[in-house]
Amino acid sequence: MTTICFVGAGSVEFTHELLTDLLGFPALREVAVRLHDIDPERLATAEAIARDTASQLGAAPTVTTHLDRREAMQGADFVINSIQVGMHEATVRDFEIPARYGLRQTIGDTLGVGGVFRALRTFPVLDGIASDLLDVCPDAWLLNYTNPMAMNVGYLRRRYPAVKVVGLCHSVYWTVHDLCEIVGVPLDEVEYASAGVNHQAWLLRWERDGESLYPLLDKAIEADPELSRRVRFDMYRRLGRFPTETSEHSSEYVPWYLHSDDEIERLRIPVGEYVRISEQNLATYARTRDALAAGEHLPLEREATEYAPLVVHAMVTGEPVTIVGNVLNEGLVTNLPPDVCVEVPCVVDADGVHPQPMGDLPAHLAAVNRAACSVGDLTIRAAMEDDPAMVRRAVMVDANTSATLTLPQIWSLCDDLVAAHGDLLPPALRVPLTP
């Protein structure tokens, strides 16, 4: 029996989506589903979701719950990771403390000082997950959804090269989906390919019947000036390829926008957006918990299948599928560093995940990506080398932060975040370091 372990199953909305897709496959209706979370209430809610979903789909999975992660992972074939270390309280700290220095963020989960500290408090938990995996299910695939994606996958591949891990993110799919709606072309008639780094890959090819759809996008932008009042469209007009994450995300990965009041107004950038999203997630959890407790069914409508169920189905049945995956570069994108995590098309079949070589990115797009890669590289080095100064250097080279703050401010800000996050961080990195 195929065994799928959910680590961080208390992320209930996401767990619901994944289970709906997994159990919707006839070949996966009798899998073993092991749910793990450190919060007993959230774990109980996740179990209720699993049983409700199975009942509505007519599936018969074996569902068990586990507060002990190692127990949950024992003999698993797949481990799906969707943890958030520190939860909402840590997210608020990641926004409120930088804001005191005048540093603006929108999402704060991928780059910037928010992304760096999210990574640093996630790495110790990844150490435990990887160690357990290698001990109790060494052949399992780790399917990572936890952000910051590139830093987490890069860290795992450097520290635990024996772990079979791929990072999964739906940003490329939804980018193409939304662009197709703008130009009025059905998504199922389109072929596309992207490459770069997670949340900052580039739509290199977007075609119907062998013809590029970019000219239709240019016409749509010309016909609707409001489209140009979004960060991604502004970047596309200047860089020539569309970035594959939302304008909210994209605005904080580059030095051009968030330090400017005029640009924030021109491009309608929602500063602090993720705090609001996090609050909404708490409300969604409460509604889901209460609805299930009242005996209500959760809706099962899904617009697309998430990548993890596609990966599981392809490996179990041998029916190949192409997804977008986050993997160690190793020459896949030849003008990005070989030891960083890149996001490229991947073919998945019974033998595993097969990343597709993409060659060189256009030089200017690689230059933008390399800035993001540097932040991730230094953050990973800080953790692996127990070097608190490297934490500050990672933040120093971040595009948005360095465009906004002085070096003394950056070091002082890092001291404040170290103190605020406390024992969530690796022990060696918990020291103040302002000169």
Tell me which residues are annotated as active site.
170
Measured distance CA(319)–CA(314) in Å, rounded: 5
Residue (of 214, 159, 141) closest to 183 by Cα position: 214
Q: How far is CA 311 from the centre of its chain?
A: 16
* Residues 58, 52: Cα–Cα separation, whole Å: 10
Q: C-alpha angle with apex 85: 271 to 125, nearest 5 degrees?
A: 140
b (16+ CB within 10 A) / e for 53-77 = bbeebebebebbbbeebbebbbebb
b/e string for 414-435 if b means 16 or more Cβ within 10 A?
bbbbbebbeebbbeebeeeeee
Q: Are 81 and 15 in contact (CB under 8 A)?
A: no
Rounded Cα gap, residues 407 and 116, in angstroms: 16
Residues paired with 355 in a beta bridge: 346
CA distance 282 to 229: 30
